Amino acid sequence: MKVALIGFGNLGKGLTRVLLEKGDYLKEKSGVFLEVTAAVDSGGAIIDEEGINIKDLLEAGQREGSIAEHIDGGEIGTTALDVIERVNSDLVVELTPTSIKDGEPGLTHIKKSMELGKHVVTANKGPLVVGFQELEKLSKEAGVEFRYSATVGGAMPIFGLAKGQMSGDSISEIQGVLNGTTNYILTRMAEEGAPFDVVLNEAQELGIAEEDPTLDIDGVDTAAKITILTNSLLDRNVKLDDVKIEGISRIGPKVTKLAQETGNEVKLVGIANSHTLEVSPKLVPSNNPLAVKGSLNSVTLKTDLAKEITITGFGAGPRETSSALLGDIVNVYKSVEV
Amino acid sequence: MRARIEMELEDTPGQLLKILEPISRHGANIKNIVHQREELTPLGKVPVTVIIDVKEDHLKEIVEEIKDIGARITRVGEEEAALRAVVLLVGDIIETGIKDSIERLNSVEGAKVADLNLSIGESGEEPSARVILWAIDQERLQSAISKLKEIASEKNLLVIEPMR
């Protein structure tokens, strides 16, 4: 299967590294043979219809500037849309930076890919937050696979679980701790009694929190994820604006202590059901499976048959997210081959 | 006195009726029964909580007779409410009139503030408080929480509610 990598930041590089590492494993175990025919970043593209040497691509990615500058035949100035339109590929993996305001440029990339009959795998929340139902419809009309496991909860296979093994269940409620940065901050305040700012700095130094952590701390990132989960698993058509959002900026170690004294933890929880769509700090009993520590994520699905299922895993990191991307890619491969 | 008896019953028909018989025979007044059929214990028993107004010397006899019927008593004690909820508040709890907040919460019928813990923030942290609400049933507990949210919204306090 020919694959075009759109976007070559941390996730693109992380996926490429895993493809290099696990190429033989995938061939032997799942019979999957992947050829990367194009990779593009904001400065240009590398294109080879016979398959790019993954090792060279990874090396180019380690250097300053665009990958196009560091490989013979690299096309400086070639854009993602050029690649999608021009290069022969069965699958487009969309990994450009997220904008939850307008979903661009990912939204345009995904739509164009579908219109051209290409399958799409993405880790980009933006396009799904802005246009989930539109993209679902478009993929059905175009008869292409559209998979987005990596958009919510990193390595946690929440969509695979809900839409695969639990297909027979009707989901009535989703509860999730969906943001590693805020969960890390809350956990460290509870454990160490350290002030918010100190713990935030620590998270930034460890690379858990971004330089500008506003979207995480204000609960917007969690809201984006609960929006995607609601549209995908509860079959609704909600927008980010529909989510009532309260972040964790007012919470300090005194608050987490008051909670712990009664056997509770403070967690930033996204909740979606027929009458609630919100993100807010909640008191979660310490023995509740959602009371995960550190940068872990956790989601509980309430359903008619299984009653309650909770999965927990690492919600971020290029390697962890590669697990979700690779799972999606293999599933596209299998659905196309059959 | 008002007493709370927590017990575990067999999940078979008629069990609840059996344990109510000694209660009514001793002239106790049943205020509330919480029959948690959906929360079976690991051994498949049904947790039941009964709140009664009873004369102190009758309570012992009632408990003994319930035991004789075969129910497992897990806890007996003086109690004012069947349900409680822990809620945290963040913000200027004192400045915005703590007395007024408590009085308004206590005005919810069948519910009251059972405990209040204040924590004065250091180094820029806002003050916070832990409120324990008691109510005689789920509906009144929800009314008390709604009232708390209404007060908090007026006074710009952050409410951290328990997960359902």
Where do the domains of chain B lie?
2-78, 83-163
Please provide the CATH number assigned to the domain covering B2-78. 3.30.70.260
- Identical fold at B2-78 and B83-163? yes
Q: Would A228 be classed as within a structural domain?
A: yes
Residue B70 is predicted with a pLDDT of: 87
Instruction: Specify whether A264 is located in the same domain as A243.
Output: yes
Residue B81 is predicted with a pLDDT of: 57
Known catalytic membership, residue A225: yes
| Residues in chain A closer than 8 A to B163 (CB atoms) | 175, 269, 282-285, 288, 290
Contact across the interface for A255 and B163, Cβ inside 8 Å? no
Instruction: Specify whether A232 is located in the same domain as A300.
Output: yes
Q: Is the pLDDT of residue B133 over 70?
A: yes
Give the C-alpha separation, A30 to A16, whole Å: 18
Residue identified by tokens 């976007």 is A7
Structure-derived torsion over alpha carbons of residues A219, A221, A223, A227, reported in degrees to the nearest 10: 180
Q: Is the pLDDT of residue B31 over 70?
A: yes
Q: Would A22 be classed as within a structural domain?
A: yes
**Nearest to A229, CA basis, from A281, A158, A161:** A158
Q: Would A83 be classed as within a structural domain?
A: yes
State the first-to-last Cα distance of chain B, in angstroms, to the nearest integer: 31
Domains: count for chain A: 2
The H-assigned helical ranges of chain A are: 10-30, 54-62, 80-86, 106-115, 125-142, 158-160, 180-192, 196-205, 214-217, 220-233, 253-260, 318-337
Residue B2 is predicted with a pLDDT of: 84
Per-residue model confidence as pLDDT tens digits over A48-61: 999 999 999 999 99
Taking the CB of residue A26, how many other CB atoms lie within 10 A of it?
18
Q: Which two tokens stand for residue A194?
A: 């350290």
Listed by number, the residues of chain A in 239-258 with a beta carbon closer than 8 Å to a beta carbon of chain B are: 246, 250-255, 257-258
Instruction: Specify whether A145 is located in the same domain as A250.
Output: no
Written as one letter, the residue type at A47 is I
Per-residue model confidence as pLDDT tens digits over A317-326: 889 999 999 9
Of A253, A257, A262, the CB nearest to B86: A262
**Nearest to B116, CA basis, from B127, B124, B107, B126:** B127
Return the CATH class of domain B83-163: alpha beta
Instruction: Specify whether A136 is located in the same domain as A228.
Output: no
Q: Which two tokens stand for residue A155?
A: 């390595």
Instruction: Specify whether A47 is located in the same domain as A137.
Output: yes
Per-residue model confidence as pLDDT tens digits over A180-239: 999 999 999 999 999 999 999 999 998 888 889 999 999 999 999 999 999 999 999 999
Per-residue model confidence as pLDDT tens digits over A60-119: 999 999 999 999 999 999 999 999 999 999 999 999 999 999 999 999 999 999 999 999
Instruction: Specify whether A149 is located in the same domain as A171.
Output: no
Instruction: Specify whether A278 is located in the same domain as A258.
Output: yes
Instruction: Specify whether A65 is located in the same domain as A148.
Output: yes
Residue A260 is predicted with a pLDDT of: 96
pTM (global) more than 0.95: no
Interface probe with A: pick from B84, B87, B128, B159, most Cβ of A within 10 Å: B128
Q: Would A160 be classed as within a structural domain?
A: no
Active-site choice (A13, A118, A225, A267): A225
Q: Would A10 be classed as within a structural domain?
A: yes
Q: How far does the CA of residue A261 sit from the closest CA of chain B (Å)?
A: 10
Residue A278 is part of which domain span? 165-314
Q: Maximum distance among all alpha carbons in chain A?
A: 64
| Residues in chain A closer than 8 A to B128 (CB atoms) | 252, 254-255, 258
- Looking up residue A139, the CATH number of its domain turns out to be 3.40.50.720
Which residues are CB-contacts of A68 (< 8 A; sequence separation ≥ 6)?
Answer: A41, A43, A44, A45, A46, A74, A75, A76, A77, A78
Instruction: Specify whether A77 is located in the same domain as A92.
Output: yes
Local confidence band at A242 (pLDDT 50, 70, 90 cut-offs)? very high
- % of chain A with per-residue pLDDT over 70: 100
Residue of A nearest to B160 (CA): A282
Instruction: Specify whether A130 is located in the same domain as A240.
Output: no
User: DSSP state, B40?
Assistant: -
Instruction: Specify whether A331 is located in the same domain as A307.
Output: no
- Looking up residue A196, the CATH number of its domain turns out to be 3.30.360.10
Q: How far does the CA of residue A248 sit from the closest CA of chain B (Å)?
A: 10
Instruction: Specify whether A19 is located in the same domain as A130.
Output: yes
Of B90, B123, B132, the CB nearest to A250: B90
